[in-house]
Amino acid sequence: MARKLPQKDAVIVGLGWTGSILAHELCNAGLDVVAIERGPWRDTATDFLISYAQDELRYRLQHELFLRPAQITVTFRNNAQQTALPVRNWGAFMLGNGVGGAGVHWNAETFRFLPTDFVCRSHLVERYGEKFLPEDMTIQDWGVTYDDLEPHYDAFEYLCGTSGTAGNLNGTMLTGGNPFEGPRSRPYPTPAQKQGYGHTLFAEAAKQLGYKPYPQPSGNLSQAYTNPLGVKLGQCTYCGFCEWFGCANYSKASPQTTILPVLLRNSNFEARTECEVLRINLDSSGKRATGVSYVNSSGEEFEQPADLVLLCGFQLFNVQLLLLSGIGTPYDPQTGNGQIGRNFTHQTMSTAVAFFDKDKYNFNPFFASGAIGMCIDEFNGDNFDHSQLGFVGGGYIGQVRTNGRPLESMTVPPGTPAWGIKWKEALRDNYLSSMIVSGACHASFYSYRDIYLDLDPTYKDRFGRPLMRMTIDFHENELKMSAFLTDKYAEILQQMGAKQIVKQPRKGPYDVTDYQTSHLCGGAIMGDNPGHSALNRYLQSWDVPNLFVQGATAFPQNAGYNPTGTVGALAFWSAKAIVSQYLKNPGPLVHA
């Protein structure tokens, strides 16, 4: 029998980036807020200690800071003809767990989307015509513009202390930055990080080919910084144990290093950790959330009533909770009806491995951070003319190598045996002079009618609830785009002086064992109309107005950048609407 707890003004499901941002904004507005987090409390001084944080086996290979599939997982199939099977061990994506969420282990690559990304469909149709898009591509405009979000991108970047070089300052173009970026109102809060040899060589070669390389915007800070909340971050030491790991230096932007020290001092905030939300509860009309039900680590069930519910979990679990709670209509790929589960996307990743003369080149790949690197945006979004290319979309291309960790740096020239003395010699002779950049071509993944999420009919979690089922495969558009970008990257490697280049464009079928970022998006997308979206422009549920759903769940399709900058901007934008409009007059903020 669930125990009913005292009413709160707001309950937040998941205490990662968006949960922390929303909690802070709502507490400042005077609300009594409780955050319920599935995983444990984590903090730098106890969990990411400088004496043993640098453990590749424990944190990178054995995923210690991550959610365990044993706790909850998803099922996967390429298409509706297959039976979906459980993802028994992570592969294609790694899901965060614990306070701080993915903000603890992320690379801290902090991009803004392009202005055209937010009006993706209307822009592409205007430029190339409706017939240029594949018939089953379901991309949409977002319902917000880059200009709407600019102040909130700024807020997130200044919260984090993001290190970068501005390219477009209020319309004035500045050398050294990204010439394609949307206009920003202020420079980055800290200067760009320093670059290693490989990154610098890439930028030189890119310039020689006529491109305009810029430093990757980094949440691993180039210098010590005090953010607007008064929280202090340290200087990144280029340790090369960044993504997958917690930072021992307080130099990676995370909820721990930017918000939690201040948030926890609020007497009207409480976090409950190791508690799993089972469902969002609705009243008899089905149009009002009354709170959430959750289970603690002893198995006791509680009901937490609240006036306002914020779903701030990871994308997959936000969608799962909506479906399990009966909110909105589940998407049916046959009829095309239903908003919950559709427009599910990932990221289209590819690379080329390059081998250089070991007597002339020493890249010292271990001098790196999670967001170091030099990028070019000439082939991102619609920055280039697609009319003769037969695809839409694009991505950044960059030498963004983050580490020289041995277990991830074993690539040897093709034809080398996988074992034996020749393997050993090849590893010895190529480790310092090879260029292995898994994230080199980081491209868009547009949405399609037959790529979606729903509840699995067979497999259950430890509470007996159906797992989320992913039906996903690559379409021709993304594969063509990937081949194109990979070729461009290879040309730059050639210019750099590589003696051997092994192109690895993305190939289908989508493989759930092959890591390709954790940038899963969509499933409850935002838009200007409840007929083709689950959320309005403020991330408010069309179906249940006292429910807001944060995160990349809202993206109608994924663009050619890491999503977290946009997730942070949307969180601030949504928070502002909640505080300045919703709290004054609870109810639908948009009447469509």
Nearer to another protein, 443 or 512 (CB): 512
Contact pick of 7, 30, 80, 82 for another protein (by CB under 8 A): 82
- Considering the candidates 63, 105, 475, 519, report the single residue annotated as catalytic: 519
Q: Binders of another protein among 310-329, rule CB under 8 A?
A: none
Instruction: Enumerate residues 6+ apart whose C-beta is below 8 A from 180.
Output: 114, 167, 377, 378, 380, 381, 383
- Minimum CB distance to another protein, residue 73 (Å): 4
Q: Binders of another protein among 543-582, rule CB under 8 A?
A: none
In contact, 514 and 483? CB cutoff 8 Å: no
Measured distance CA(207)–CA(215) in Å, rounded: 13
DSSP three-state, residue 566 = helix
Judged by CB under 8 A, which stretch of 64-72, 145-153, 487-495, 546-554 contacts another protein?
A: 64-72
Helices (H), 129-231: 146-160, 197-208
Query: Between helices 564-577 and 146-160, what is the axis angle to 10°?
Result: 110
Judged by CB under 8 A, which stretch of 141-149, 202-210, 393-401, 504-512 contacts another protein?
A: 504-512
Q: Annotate each residue in 93-112 with x if it binds another protein (CB under 8 A) or - if it does not, as one string.
A: ------x-------------
Nearer to another protein, 274 or 528 (CB): 274
- Minimum CB distance to another protein, residue 219 (Å): 17
Q: Is 86 in the site for another protein (CB under 8 A)?
A: yes
Instruction: Enumerate residues 6+ apart whose C-beta is below 8 A from 418.
Output: none
In contact, 292 and 304? CB cutoff 8 Å: yes
In contact, 537 and 526? CB cutoff 8 Å: yes
Q: Is 56 in the site for another protein (CB under 8 A)?
A: yes
- Minimum CB distance to another protein, residue 296 (Å): 4
In contact, 332 and 34? CB cutoff 8 Å: no
Nearer to another protein, 275 or 352 (CB): 275
Nearer to another protein, 163 or 249 (CB): 249
- Minimum CB distance to another protein, residue 148 (Å): 34
Q: Is 30 in the site for another protein (CB under 8 A)?
A: no
Instruction: Enumerate residues 6+ apart whose C-beta is below 8 A from 130.
Output: none
Q: Which two tokens stand for residue 585?
A: 């007059």
Nearer to another protein, 195 or 258 (CB): 195
Helix/strand/coil (H/E/C) assignment for every residue in 519-538: CCECCCCECCCCCCCCECCC
Measured distance CA(218)–CA(189) in Å, rounded: 11
- Minimum CB distance to another protein, residue 12 (Å): 13
Measured distance CA(63)–CA(71) in Å, rounded: 13
Measured distance CA(402)–CA(397) in Å, rounded: 15
Q: Which two tokens stand for residue 178?
A: 């990204």
Contact pick of 9, 28, 68, 581 for another protein (by CB under 8 A): 68
**In terms of Cα–Cα distance, which of 272, 310, 246, 297 is closest to 41?**
272
Contact pick of 78, 402, 444, 536 for another protein (by CB under 8 A): 78
- Minimum CB distance to another protein, residue 68 (Å): 4
State the first-to-last Cα distance of the chain, in angstroms, to the nearest integer.
41
Nearer to another protein, 142 or 361 (CB): 361
Q: Binders of another protein among 178-197, rule CB under 8 A?
A: 194-197
Instruction: Enumerate residues 6+ apart whose C-beta is below 8 A from 196.
Output: 238, 363, 364, 365, 367, 368, 372, 401
Q: Binders of another protein among 261-300, rule CB under 8 A?
A: 261, 264-265, 267, 269-275, 296-298
In contact, 403 and 242? CB cutoff 8 Å: yes
Q: Binders of another protein among 353-392, rule CB under 8 A?
A: 361-364, 366-367
Contact pick of 4, 7, 30, 45 for another protein (by CB under 8 A): 45
Q: Which two tokens stand for residue 298?
A: 């002893």
Rounded to the nearest 5°, which phi and psi values hold at 570?
-65, -35
Q: Binders of another protein among 464-503, rule CB under 8 A?
A: none
**In terms of Cα–Cα distance, which of 162, 62, 74 is closest to 111?**
162
Contact pick of 13, 19, 76, 572 for another protein (by CB under 8 A): 76
Nearer to another protein, 251 or 564 (CB): 251
Q: Binders of another protein among 231-250, rule CB under 8 A?
A: 235, 237-241, 248-249
Work out whether the CA dihedral 121, 126, 128, 131 comes out positive or negative. Answer: positive
519 is catalytic: yes
Contact pick of 11, 87, 259, 349 for another protein (by CB under 8 A): 87
Strand partners, 535: 526, 541
In contact, 432 and 382? CB cutoff 8 Å: no
Measured distance CA(435)–CA(355) in Å, rounded: 6
Measured distance CA(33)–CA(9) in Å, rounded: 6
Q: Binders of another protein among 412-471, rule CB under 8 A?
A: 418-421, 423-425, 427-428, 431-432, 458-460
- Minimum CB distance to another protein, residue 298 (Å): 7
Contact pick of 30, 40, 228, 457 for another protein (by CB under 8 A): 40
- Minimum CB distance to another protein, residue 475 (Å): 16
- Minimum CB distance to another protein, residue 264 (Å): 5
Nearer to another protein, 198 or 398 (CB): 198
Q: Binders of another protein among 121-180, rule CB under 8 A?
A: none
Give the binding-site size for another protein (rule: CB under 8 A): 92
Measured distance CA(311)–CA(306) in Å, rounded: 13
Nearer to another protein, 245 or 572 (CB): 245
In contact, 330 and 455? CB cutoff 8 Å: yes
Contact pick of 51, 334, 335, 387 for another protein (by CB under 8 A): 51
Catalytic residue positions?
519
